[in-house]
Structure 1
Amino acid sequence: MVATPHALAGAFASRLARTPRGALVAGVISHLALDRIPHTDYALDNRAAMFADLAAATLVTALLARRHRLAASGALGGVLPDVMVVAELRAGLRVTLPLHHANHTSIEPPVVVGVFTQLATAALLITGLVGPVR
């Protein structure tokens, strides 16, 4: 999935944590869970899509952090595995890359289905995040 659903899932998962470190871990776990859902990723060399996605993820996280104090830590954890993959690819390393790719489902849906999956996931997470604070 792209950054925005992962950031939202991490922010949502942070509601289960009591500390920033716990929120970060919850975000990473949410990332691994979401990657098991069949989805479509954009190419890493598509800079326009990556910029728009990261900008949306940052904006939504900033807005949510006003309401949920650990949301930023959870959102960071939600995108951290993908950030590490990009860093490893750029540095020519293979530390977490094999595990990350092994966690993805082998089902590759048509682009329309993949995009719908991400939009539906984001909508559900936003609905959950703007609900009552526990």
Structure 2
Amino acid sequence: MVDILTNKNLSREDQVRELQETVDNLGKFVSSVQSSEFKGKIVETKTYDEIIENELKKLDVENLTRHVHFLTLFLPEQFLKRGADQRLIDQLNFDDVVKSHRAEQWSFSCKLSQSLSIFQMILRKFVKYDSFFCL
């Protein structure tokens, strides 16, 4: 009788171990499924993040191009030309500024040139403004 109870007890222990192993395997399977779903959601959110970021960059580019267009309406053409600002540096040196009246002449000519270019810019602005809204 003791042998029979011992055998039954051993068989029950084996069944308990097998059930524990299946529960552990199912737990691992469930955790792997959950982790794969979680990884899928992470990839999906990253993709949405990239899409939204690209759309924001497109909007920024559109706004910047519109801003540049409006700036070109108000700036003179010489502003966009290359090397227009460096010409004065080659012509004016330290001796002209310190020792002679040439500095005053340069100052007057620069102010006159600036006033004329501002006047020219205003005229072009009105021409561009008028042509911009007539389209």
TM-score class, shorter-chain normalisation, is under 0.3
- Give the TM-score normalised by the residue count of structure 1: 0.25
Structure index of larger Rg:
2
TM-score of the two chains, using structure 2 as the length reference: 0.25
Q: Which structure is richer in relative contact order (CA contacts within 8 A, separation 6 or more)?
A: 1
In terms of fraction of residues, the more helix-rich structure is: 2
